[in-house]
Amino acid sequence: MAIADTVSPAVDLAAVNGKLSHQPAEERIAWAAREFAGALVLSSSFGAQAAVMLSLVSRVAPGLPVIFIDTGYLFPETYRFADELTARLKLNLKVYRPAISPAWLEARHGRLWEQGLDGLEAYNRIVKTEPMHRALHELGARAWLAGLRRSQTSSRELLEIVGRQDGRIKIHPIVDWTDRDVHTYLTKHNLPYHPLWDQGYVSIGDVHTSRPLTADLTPEQTRFFGLKRECGLHDPDPSPTS
C-alpha cells in the first residue's frame, strides 16, 4: 500500500483555498510555514523552471528542507544546476536515492523504461516514489510544497492551491501562475532556467525519458515517450516494487 504514515491534520480545504485564492504565492507559502511549522518540506526536481519555487521558499521560509530525488539517471546539467542553486539560495538540500543502484536495477529488471507503460510505472515506483515516501517519513513531513501549475499539463488543470495526498497536506503556491508569470519572476530576480531549456527541453527528468520539444510533439509528449505525463510523485501511488 502507499506509505501514508503521517495523518494530515484537520484542514478545511474549501475554506483555506478560498482564503488563499486571492493571495500571492509568498503568502501561501507563509501560511503553510505557520500552519505546519517544523513539519513542512519542499520537493524539487531541479527542472526547467525550478528556480521559481526554490527562490520563493528561500525568501519566505529559509532553511526549509528541500527534497531532491536523485534517480541516478539525471542529466549532468541537472546535477550542476542543483549545485548552483543550492549554493546561491543557501538551500537545505536533502538528497534521497532509490534503495537499489542503477546497475543493480538494470541487472534485476532490465531497462524498465523500454518496457512499455507497465515498465515505466514500475521504474517510477522504484526510483522516484519509494525514495520520496521515505524522505517524507524520515523528515516528519505533515505537509509539502510543490511547484506544479495548472497550465503545465491536462493532468494538472484541476489542481487546487491546497489539497491532500497520501495522508499529507499538499500545497501548490504557484498553481495559477502562467508561463509569463514564471518568466517575469525569473527575470526580476535574475534567476536561470535549467541549462537544457535553451536546447528545447520544456520538461526535464531522466535522460532516457526526456526529449526536447519539436514541431511534431506536444509538451506532454516530451516525457515518457508520450505514454504518460506524471512520474508518480504527485499522485497517490500503489506499493513500490523492489
- What confidence tens digit (pLDDT) does each residue in 131-190 have? 999 999 999 999 999 999 887 766 678 789 999 988 899 999 999 999 999 999 999 999
The radius of gyration computed from the CA coordinates of the chain, to the nearest angstrom, equals: 17
> For residue 74, is pLDDT > 70?
yes
Tell me what percent of the residues of the chain surpass a pLDDT of 90. Answer: 75
- Per-residue pLDDT tens over the stretch 87-115: 999 999 999 999 999 999 999 999 999 99
Quote the crossing angle between the two packed helices 51-60 and 179-188, to the nearest 10°.
Answer: 60
| Secondary structure letter of residue 241 according to DSSP | P
pTM, rounded to two decimals:
0.89
* pLDDT at residue 46 greater than cutoff 90: yes
The amino acid sitting at 74 is: L
| Per-residue pLDDT band at 1 (split at 50, 70, 90) | very low
Q: At how many degrees (to 10) do helices 25-35 and 51-60 cross?
A: 60
Asked whether 46 and 81 are in contact (CB, 8 A), the reply is yes
> Could you tell me if 175 and 161 are in contact, meaning their C-beta atoms sit under 8 angstroms apart?
yes
Cα 92 to chain centroid distance, Å, stands at 16
Would strands 143-145 and 40-43 be described as parallel, antiparallel, or unpaired?
Answer: parallel
Which helix (DSSP H) or strand (DSSP E) does residue 96 occupy?
A: strand 92-96
Query: Please, what is the average pLDDT of the chain?
Result: 89
The H or E element that residue 51 is part of is helix 51-60
The secondary structure of 24-73 as a DSSP string is -HHHHHHHHHHHTTTSEEEE----TTTHHHHHHHHHHSTT-EEEEE--S-
CATH topology for 13-226 is Rossmann fold (3.40.50)
Catalytic positions, written as ranges: 231
143-145, strands of its sheet edge to edge: 92-96, 65-69, 40-43, 143-145, 168-171, 162-165
Interval 199-238: pLDDT, tens: 999 889 999 998 999 888 888 888 777 765 555 565 643 3
Find, among 141, 137, 135, 131, the residue nearest to 41 by Cα.
141
Residue 196 has pLDDT above 60, yes or no: yes
- Per domain, the residue ranges of the chain are 13-226
Confidence of residue 5 (pLDDT cuts 50, 70, 90): very low
Q: Above 80 in pLDDT, residue 30?
A: yes
Beta-ladder partners of 81: none
For 106, residues 6+ apart whose C-beta sits below 8 A from its C-beta are none
Indicate if the pLDDT at residue 239 is higher than 60: no
Residue 73 reports pLDDT greater than 70: yes
The answer to whether 138 and 212 have CB atoms below 8 angstroms apart is: no
**Spatial CA neighbour of 177 closest among 168, 185, 169, 167:** 185
How many angstroms from the chain centroid is the CA of residue 133?
13
Could you say which DSSP state residue 92 is in? E
